[in-house]
Amino acid sequence: MSIELRHLRCFLAIAEESNVTRAAARLGLTQPSVSRTLASLEKRMGVRLVDRSTHHLALTAEGRAFRDKAAAAVAAFDEALDTGRLRRRPLRLGHAWSALGPYTTPLLRRWQREHPDTPLELLRIDDRTAGLARGEVDAAVLRGPVDTPGLVTELLFTEPRVAAVPSDDPLAARASLTLADLGAGPVVLNTVSGLTTPDLWPEEIRPTATVTVANTDDWLTAIAAGRGAGASVASTAQMHAHRGVTYRPLSDAPSAPVFLAWRSASPHPAVRQLVALARAVAGSTGPAGPR
């Protein structure tokens, strides 16, 4: 038996729904049919992709690794059959939050002026690689270390870190803050697409209490509600103003690198032009290289 597109779509529906019944409804198939398709795929692959031993369906380690490859394959197939996109194939640029900060609008305006035949689509995707590893975008703005296999990165610039505290918190009255100031109370972490982890703090002042959220909007809401403080980068303060959140410089935290990343295999033809323009707009001369 060969693996067909229907096997990949079935697996991806199961992975996204975490439930065979919901995946079947989404695909317009019966539950037994979806189960048989998954079993056929696992037999052909020679590995178990989905763990069915618990009440809550979960992907195995092999399933998680295969998910990104399957998503990229399906996205490539769908795009190849989209005749409208073949005539004017857009360049999809992903970001998890803040894009290129103050350079975002200049980049979009110059691209439209200099490359009118290739639309540049800016997409916010709450994912550590902003959809790049899953094939949802052609390039992505990523902050912090990039260790996903198969990606090439270009360092564009670095930006300072900032603290984000509730506007009615006494810390908001200070001109600047330190990691120790934030670590004294709960810290709000975006564990899905955010840059900050407890490792930002030295071990002796590492926060003992954290609040986890899944995106920037929830991060801001949690801080404004007084559930804790947060740490981010200067672009967040510029792009995500919130009346309940006050940003202050974080004086003892290292600056964060900002990369433009793309897949090394079959990159979009206009990626190199995007890299050149992003470097020009940001005034960067960072080296490129695989990560």
pTM: 0.70
Residue 227 and residue 211 share a domain? yes
pLDDT digits 0-9 by tens, 192-202: 999 999 999 99
Percent of the chain with pLDDT over 90: 69
**Structure tokens, 274:** 């995007």
Q: What is the pLDDT of residue 284?
A: 52
Q: From CA 83, how far away is CA 202, in angstroms rounded?
A: 53
User: What is the domain-level CATH number for residue 56?
Assistant: 1.10.10.10
Residue 277 and residue 138 share a domain? yes
Strand partners, 230: 164
Short-list 216, 228, 13, 210, CA closest to 99 = 216
Instruction: Using 70 as the pLDDT threshold, list the residues of the chain that sit under it.
Output: 1, 54-55, 79-88, 284-291
Structural domain that includes position 25: 5-80
Short-list 154, 230, 160, 150, CA closest to 189 = 230
Q: How many domains does the chain have?
A: 3
Q: What is the pLDDT of residue 55?
A: 64
Q: What is the pLDDT of residue 1?
A: 59
Using only C-alpha atoms, the chain has a radius of gyration, in whole angstroms, of 21
Q: What is the pLDDT of residue 288?
A: 40
Q: What is the pLDDT of residue 289?
A: 38
Q: What is the pLDDT of residue 82?
A: 61
pLDDT digits 0-9 by tens, 225-252: 999 999 999 999 999 999 999 999 999 9
User: What is the domain-level CATH number for residue 280?
Assistant: 3.40.190.10
Residue 31 and residue 72 share a domain? yes
Q: What is the pLDDT of residue 87?
A: 46
Burial of residue 291, with CB atoms counted within 10 A of its CB: 0-12 exposed, 13-18 middle, 19 or more buried: middle
In the block, residue with structure tokens 């779509």: 9
Q: What is the pLDDT of residue 125?
A: 94
